Chains A and B, each alone.
Chain A
Amino acid sequence: MNEGGWHRLNDELKIVATVMKKELILYFRYPVWVLFDALMPLLWVVSLVIYGMALVGSPYSDNLARLANTGDYVSFTVVGMVVSSFAYSTLWGMSYAMRGEQWSGTLETTFLTPCSRFSVLLGKAFSNMLTTSAWVIIQITLVALVFGLRINIVNLPLALLFFLIALPSFIGIGFSLAGIVLDFKEHSAFVNFLSSLLGLLLPISYPLSVLPPILRYFSYLLPPTYAIEGMRSLLIMNSSLSELTSLVVPLIFFDVFWLFTGIAIFIREERRVLKKGTLGYY
């Protein structure tokens, strides 16, 4: 990359950081939302754990041990919830990204700025991930205190590395959703439907083997499935990164696929909206 290219990259990174800062300032201007965002994932985990305990009477399930190589379903569920929280945060955050600007009447202004739309989208995605990370840390700490959590802390850096491998695919899916919402405007029904579908297809609180075979195939098409399985292997089953080749390879494929597809969909939808003259439509 020549000097001009580096300068451009540097400028775009600054834009990502500025959008992130702006989004965080906006987010914390609504403390009630912040409080609910912090408490809700905790309530979801609590209800899943109490349900599990009611079924097996203890934090250990023999049947889960047979199916998933670990009977500790509290840790099993918490890791699933943590990874899926990031998937949901990308889904909701990025689909809402441009719609939010539309609601505020600032979409045209944003589009007029001489920067890449993707820097704006990335800034929004990273601000969402930052707040999700904070809630996830609170969630893990409280569940560890109340129910006990047995995760391999030594593998935490590896788990983070694994998550970074999965991240581009999440972002790519987010780009495509942002593009679709730009054209179709009303995102809540669509994203609600996707969220509910993901809740069923992702192995959040159960292993894939209990899903009916046809649903399992759909689950294998979703990058968060590999992310959840990989993080679980590293944090609960003490696997090493080299043992996760079967998960890393498809994830890298999905990273490339979804980034290209996401960018292509967003550019296509943006052109369509500009051509139709409906960018400012509510």
Chain B
Amino acid sequence: MNIDNWILELKASLSTAKKEILVNLRYPLWVVFWAIMPIFWLAPFILQGRALVGGRFSESFGELTGTKDFITFAIIGSSLYAYVMSALWGTGLSLRREQWGGTLEMILISPCNKFSILFGKALSDSILTSFYAIIQFALASLIFGAMVKVENLGFAISVVLLMILAFYGIGFVLSGVILMYKEPGALLNFVDTLIYTICPVNYPLRALMLFLGSAGYYIVMVSIFFPLTPALEIVRTLLLPSFNPYLNVATAISYLVATMVIFLIGGMYLFNFVDKIIRKKGGVEAY
């Protein structure tokens, strides 16, 4: 592919992203919902923590993580978790939404690479999610108070960008699976809850190992191959004073890069595979 074609594909991606953002902004109530609702999901955890320890610091939490401040720990966790929801409910469902709108066939027969379109959809999701995550972090910090090392924010953001790329791959995988099996609600709900449980969103990886015994060890082994886990380990190391990670920064970065490559390549391969199958079966438009 020559440079002109690359530019054209990039334009297709950017046009798709622009269209998706415009469509999203046409539903301002949904925008407000996604910007504010995560606070409602985070607040019960913080209130539970306050009920159990009587403040914002926990000795036991400090022994497990190096930081006693479980509130900042949870705020970082839930802000990054927004990207998981975006990959699942945004990119994962994007082609299904085209199917609902009756525009999927037109998109698939357009003379551009389908990954340019998928990339555009993922790009719009990550832009909107970053907007939601920033609002969420700011609101949560305002309401509950977050104590972070601001000087490392730049490095933390670059780690989040790596994680977002890895989630693009997961979005491709889900797009393929959903295109094949159509009705995704049950699957997405389950995967969403499973990720929330096995990744260190509100509690550290060591807690899983400590309280679930050998099962916890295997759960952690699975968890570290999901991009959210190494990303959270690095971001918390960078932002939380005295945080003692389960994975050190170098190891976590190598896991993050590896999962990014695996999910991106695997996702593209799987999507191509599913695309061929459904075209053969004639099930592209099947509702």
Contacts and interface: CB of A to CB of B under 8 A. Distances in A.
Interface of A: 30, 32-33, 36, 39-40, 43-44, 46-57, 61, 63-64, 66-68, 73, 77, 146, 189, 192-193, 196-197, 199-200, 204-207, 209-211
A149 B197 CA distance: 20
A28 to B, nearest CB: 14
A51 B77 CA distance: 13
B186 A56 contact: no
Find the residue from B53, B210, B211 having the highest chain A CB count within 10 A: B211
A196 B40 contact: yes
A44 B212 CA distance: 15
A57 B211 CA distance: 9
A54 B203 contact: yes
Contacts of A146: 212
Interface residues of B, number: 40
B64 A36 contact: no
Given A40-B193, A64-B52, A54 B45 contact: no
A83 to B, nearest CB: 15
B1 interface: no
Q: Is the interface of A mostly helix, strand, loop or mixed?
A: helix
Interface stretch (B55-63, B152-160, B224-232): B55-63
Contacts of B41: 196, 199
Contacts of B48: 48, 51-52, 77, 205-206
Interface in B18-57: 29-30, 33, 37, 40-41, 43-45, 47-54
Contacts of A77: 48
Interface in B183-208: 186-187, 189-190, 193-194, 196-197, 202-204, 207-208
14 contacts: A32-B186, A40-B190, A47-B196, A47-B202, A51-B207, A54-B70, A54-B207, A55-B58, A55-B70, A57-B63, A68-B51, A73-B52, A193-B33, A206-B50
A49 B207 CA distance: 10
Contacts, number: 113
B187 A32 contact: yes
Given A51-B202, A53-B211, A200 B60 contact: no
A59 to B, nearest CB: 9
A49 B45 CA distance: 11
B52 A52 contact: yes
Contacts of A68: 51
Contacts of A47: 196-197, 202-203
Find the residue from A48, A50, A67 having the highest chain B CB count within 10 A: A50
A61 B53 contact: yes
Contacts of B33: 189, 192-193
A56 B58 contact: yes
* Interface pairs A-B: 5 shortest CB-CB: A57-B60, A54-B207, A206-B51, A63-B54, A36-B190
Nearest to A211: B47
Contacts of B37: 192-193, 196
B51 A50 contact: no
Contacts of B51: 61, 63-64, 67-68, 205-207, 209-210
